[in-house]
Amino acid sequence: MSKEVDALKLFLEVVGRKGIHEKWNGKPHQAFKNLPNSSKGDAGEEFIQKYLNGLGFKTDKKGRNGDWDLEIENKKFEIKLASEDITGSFQFNHIRYDSKYDFLICIGVTPDDLKAFIYKEGQAKKNKMITFVK
C-alpha cells in the first residue's frame, strides 16, 4: 500500500503552524522576534553600544570570542537578550559561570517594551539569580 506524499507541501504546512505566538503579531518588536537567535544577540550588543555612545559613554566592542561583549568606561560587560515567552518570563541563555566580566546586562524584549536587568558579576552568581552553565 504505497501512497504519494508531497514532502515539500507537508513541510511548509508544519512550519507554518510553528510561527510566533499571536501576542507578537502587529506589535512594535515583532521584527525582533522574527530574527534568528544569533542575530538577536548581535542586535542587542549593537543597540547597547549605540545607545550608550549616544548618551556620551565611551564603549569598545569585543571580538566574537571572549568572556565579555562590550567594554563601557573601562568595565567589561556581558550582554544577553531574551524575548518574553507566552507566560511573561524571559530565558537568558548561554551565560557562563566562569566568564571574566564585571557586569551582566540582560535585556528582556516584550512585544512592545524593553526591560533591563543589570547585575554585578559576583552578585548574579552569589544570589543565584540566573542559571549559569559551566
Give me the number of domains the chain comprises. Answer: 1
Eight-class DSSP state of 24: G
Query: Which residues pair with residue 31 across a beta bridge?
Result: none
In a domain, 76, yes or no: yes
Give the structural domain span for 110. Answer: 28-126
Report the distance separating Cα 58 and Cα 60, nearest Å: 7
Give kind and range of the element (H or E) at residue 33.
helix 30-34
Sheet with 70-72, side-by-side order of all strands? 59-61, 70-72, 75-83, 103-109, 114-120
In a domain, 13, yes or no: no
**Residue 132, domain member (yes or no):** no
Query: Does 20 map to a domain?
Result: no
Assigned domain for 95 exists: yes
Phi, psi (degrees; rounded to nearest 5) at 125: -75, -45
Q: What CATH number did the domain enclosing 36 receive?
A: 3.40.1350.10
Q: Is residue 104 part of a domain?
A: yes
Whether pLDDT at 63 is above 50:
yes
What is the per-residue pLDDT for 134?
Answer: 40
* Res 124: pLDDT: 67
- Lowest model confidence (mean pLDDT) among 21-30, 37-46, 61-70, 98-107: 61-70
Kindly tell me if the per-residue pLDDT of 62 is higher than 90. Answer: no
46, 54 Cβ separation under 8 angstroms: no
Give pLDDT, residue 50: 93
pTM value surpassing 0.75:
yes
